[in-house]
Amino acid sequence: MPRIVVDVMPKPEILDPQGKAIAGALPRLGFTGFTGVRQGKRFELTVAGEVTEEVLEQARTAASTLLSNPVIEDVTRVEVLPETNEGEQ
C-alpha cells in the first residue's frame, strides 16, 4: 500500500537538547566528522488505495495541525514514498 512520508524538524532557532546530547556522544565513539546533530521525527502514513491530491492535502493539513507544533517545529517534507519491493510492508 502506498505511503506518505512526513518529516518534522525542530525549528533552526530552537535549541535541540536531544540533538546536542547526541552530538556530544558521537566524538566519544570516534565519530569526529560531525559538527552538529538535530533530531527530528519521521511519520509514514499508509494510504488505502491511490494517493490522490486530496489525500496529499489531508496529509499536509495533518502535518501542520497534529504531527507538528508550529511554535517549535517545521514540517520539512510531505511526499509520497516510492513503492518498495514486493512483499515488503
Query: Residue 70 corresponds to which amino acid?
Result: P
DSSP assignments along 23-61, one per residue: HHHHHHTT--S-S-----EEEEEE-SS---HHHHHHHHH
Residue from 1, 12, 13, 84 touching another protein (CB under 8 A): that is: 13
HSE-CB of 46 using CA atoms within 13 angstroms: 4
Residue number with CB closer to another protein (1 or 66): 66
* Contacting another protein within 45-74 (CB under 8 A): 66-67, 69, 71-72
Residue number with CB closer to another protein (14 or 52): 14
Residue 14 interacting with another protein (CB under 8 A): yes
Judged by the rule CB under 8 A, the positions of this chain that interact with another protein are 10, 13-15, 17-18, 21, 66-67, 69, 71-72
